[in-house]
Amino acid sequence: MATDLVPEVVQPAAGSSRQASPPKRKRRTRNVPLWRDLLRYRWLYLLLLPGLAYFVIFKYLPMYGLTIAFKDYVPFLGYSGSEWVGLKHFQELFTGPDFGRLMFNTLLLAVLTIVFVFPAPIIVALLLNELRVNVLKRSVQSLIYIPHFLSWTIVASLTYLLFSVDFGVIANFIHGIVGGQQADYVAQAAWFRPLIVLQLLWKQTGWGTIIYLAALAGVDSQLYEAARVDGAGRWRQFWHITLPAIRPTIVVMAILTSGHLMDSGFEQIWLMTTSLNRDVADVFDTFVYYIGITQGSFSYATAVGLFKGVVGVVLIFGSNLLAKRLGQRGLF
């Protein structure tokens, strides 16, 4: 059952080909009242109910809660009772001393991610694709997927254990080569961003290859045979067949990535933040936590979060539009 799951499910994105509805279950026409549908499909609606309740309570109620970004929320007065202050909190954010720093830190991390982390799984997938010993290929895959399943606390702990002064294996190793004063990698601001990128590479590169490898596996082998007959060497086959084959996948992943430019990964950043690197470590996500949870300024923190969320929506729709303009298939 499971083995033939992929080919079947991947295709029907267009999926309307099936005649789903049995004859007796016609679409509701205008003259059938609502209660009749409810009665007829009562079991299905009953099954739907708990999940729907979850979405209403934990997804849509918080969206209603976003209104406190425009109020001075006092828990005692509740959402609707608190005083309406309009854009006060947004003004505070945009004119305040933190905004520039938060924006810079968030965007710089995003740029570093795009430059170093985004291409890594593509490169590794292409290299894996060139491996012809299947056992080796599968073994390498099994090993490089592992870090994806480890929590950020474990990743941060490993980083501390490996890079700390005196005990850290890697810190000592670098010190042995470079000499001089030993750097405190985990505390110093200068090493914050390199460590973040390193962690992302270690944790996500292997996992990221899956989707590209699937795209590569779908390439028709006849294309390669035809190219070979025409005298194309290995490099030419790579350039003219392999690379174009995964371009749509790369575009989709790029759209998804750019939708998350503002999401710096709360857990990772939070765990790597120390009192010495706060200046470079603070991003919108962690700032919301400091302001909201630590200091209790719920309204201001909500405004910061809302700003971030809206930019995220704009980014994902924008990059989708851009991809379509450039002649690629977008996400939606």
Partner 1 sequence: MKQRLRYYDSVGSRTFDVLNVLFLIGLAVVTVLPLLYVLAGSFATESEISSRPFFLWPHRFVTSTYHYIFSTDTFVRALLTTIGVTAVGTAIQLILTLTMAYPLAKRFLPGRALVLNLVIFTLVFSGGMIPTYLVVRNLGLLDSYWALILPLAINPFYLIVVKSFFQELPEALEEAARIDGCNELNVFLRIVLPLSKPIIATFSLFYAVGIWNDYMSPLLYIDDSKKWTLQMIVRQLTAANADSANVLQQLETVTFPEQGLKFAVVVVATLPILFFYPFLQKHFAKGVLIGSVKE
**Interacting positions 222-251 with partner 1 (CB under 8 A):** 228-229, 233-234
Q: Which stretch binds partner 1 (CB under 8 A): 35-43, 81-89, 111-119, 189-197?
A: 35-43
**Residue of 197, 214, 254, 311 interacting with partner 1 (CB under 8 A):** 214
Least Å distance, CB 1 to partner 1, is 5
Question: Quick one: which segment of 14-22, 86-94, 99-107, 111-119 binds partner 1 (CB under 8 A)?
Answer: 14-22
Do residues 311 and 284 make contact, with C-beta atoms less than 8 angstroms apart? no
Distance CA 260, CA 332 (A): 16
Cα-based distances in Å from 43 to 27, 33, 237: 17, 18, 55
Residues binding partner 1: number (CB under 8 A): 115
In whole angstroms, how close is the CB of 171 to partner 1 at the nearest point? 11
Name which of residues 293 to 322 contact partner 1 (CB under 8 A): 293, 298, 301-302, 305-306, 308-309, 312-313, 316
Per CB under 8 A, which of residues 76..135 are in contact with partner 1?
124, 127-128, 130-133
User: Least distance to partner 1 from the beta carbon of 95, Å?
Assistant: 21
Residues 242 and 219 sit within 8 Å (Cβ to Cβ): yes
DSSP H helices, 150-283, are 152-163, 169-178, 192-217, 221-229, 234-237, 243-259, 266-272, 278-281
Q: How far is the CB of 247 from partner 1 (least distance, A)?
A: 15
Nearer to partner 1, 82 or 113 (CB): 82
Is the Cβ of residue 280 or residue 298 nearer to partner 1 in the bound state?
298
- For residue 286 the two structure tokens come to 């962690």
Can you say how many angstroms the Cα of residue 222 is from the centroid of all Cα atoms in its chain? 35
By CB under 8 A, the residues from 58 to 77 that bind partner 1 are 58-66, 68, 75
What CA–CA distance (Å, rounded) separates 96 from 198? 32
Tracing tokens 């590479």 back to the chain, one arrives at 201
> The tokens of 229 are what?
């007959």
Q: Smallest distance, Å, CB 281 to partner 1?
A: 11
269 is an interface residue for partner 1 by CB under 8 A = no
* C-alpha closest to that of 84 among 96, 93, 95, 73: 73
Whole-number Å distance between alpha carbons of 236 and 243: 10
Q: Judged by CB under 8 A, does residue 179 bind partner 1?
A: no
Residue reference for tokens 């290859």: 209
